[in-house]
Amino acid sequence: MYSIAADMHTHTVASTHAYSTVLENCTYAAKQGLRAVAVTDHGMASPDSPHIWHFENLSILPRSIEGVYLLRGIEANILDDTGALDADGALLSKLEWVVASLHSQTFEPGDRERNTRAYLGLCENEAVDVIGHPTTKKFTFDMERCVKAFKEHGKLVEINESSIRTGKSPVPIVKELLDLCRRYELPVVLNTDAHYCAQIGRYPISLGILEETGFPQELVLNSEWERLREHIIRKHGDIGI
């Protein structure tokens, strides 16, 4: 029923608990028939993050590798309840895909209202494209309030295969988010959060949940390359994809 055209959250060996290079990731993405991947290594506050030079130097990468478009991005860390990130506006303006996530290494889990404030504050950051793995059980939040804000501010939300597979995102929470996204017509993106190239483009659990819930394919932004491409160009300009 569903197909996915691009994997928009992947890691390379620049994040030191990941195990594949940019070339390996793109080569595997090509084998999977993907049109694009986003390289989104961890922001500088993470213990395993690359130096800021990694992100500053992403422009040297070719626009496509093995026929797969390459988006230069980051998985930035949300640092506090204002939604501040560990990457400033000057850096983010040079990037083409910004995932923003809560991680326990950079944000103390456990306070639902604080998590909610962090997401609401993040909405004000125009550079952010997508909210990374918002279904993790460590970071509960007022989901309906935030989904409304995400919709108002043009933020996508992520269904993260890795987070579901490892049990960090329980399926009932994923279904709750999908139900709200359907209700408020908020688009989602299915991503692998791959830390090894063979994970790229593989979404068996996420796709099963979408099929079980009958989630509308038109709300899965990366199910069609042209729709995703138009979205990226509207926000980031003509970047040659």
- Which pTM was predicted? 0.98
Q: Counting Cβ atoms within 10 Å, is residue 167 exposed (0-12), middle (13-18) or buried (19+)?
A: exposed
pLDDT tens for 100-137 read 999 999 999 989 999 999 999 999 999 999 999 999 99
- Percent of the chain beyond pLDDT 70? 100
Longest dimension (CA), the chain: 45
Q: Which domains does the chain have, with CATH numbers?
A: 6-235 (3.20.20.140)
Q: Residue 1: what pLDDT?
A: 74
The three-state DSSP-derived secondary structure of 184-218 is HCCCEEEECCECCHHHCCCCHHHHHHHHHHCCCHH
* CA neighbor of 2 nearest in space, from 206, 217, 191: 217
pLDDT tens for 22-52 read 999 999 999 999 999 999 999 999 999 999 9
Mean pLDDT of 10-19: 97
Amino acid at 201: G
Q: Residue 110: what pLDDT?
A: 84
- 151 pLDDT exceeds 80? yes
Q: Which residues pair with 97 in a beta bridge?
A: 73
Q: How far is CA 98 from CA 9, 15, 48, 67, 180, in A?
A: 9, 16, 18, 22, 23
What is the rounded distance in angstroms from the CA atom of residue 188 to the CA atom of residue 123? 16
pLDDT tens for 50-74 read 999 999 999 999 999 999 999 999 9
What is the rounded distance in angstroms from the CA atom of residue 34 to the CA atom of residue 59? 21
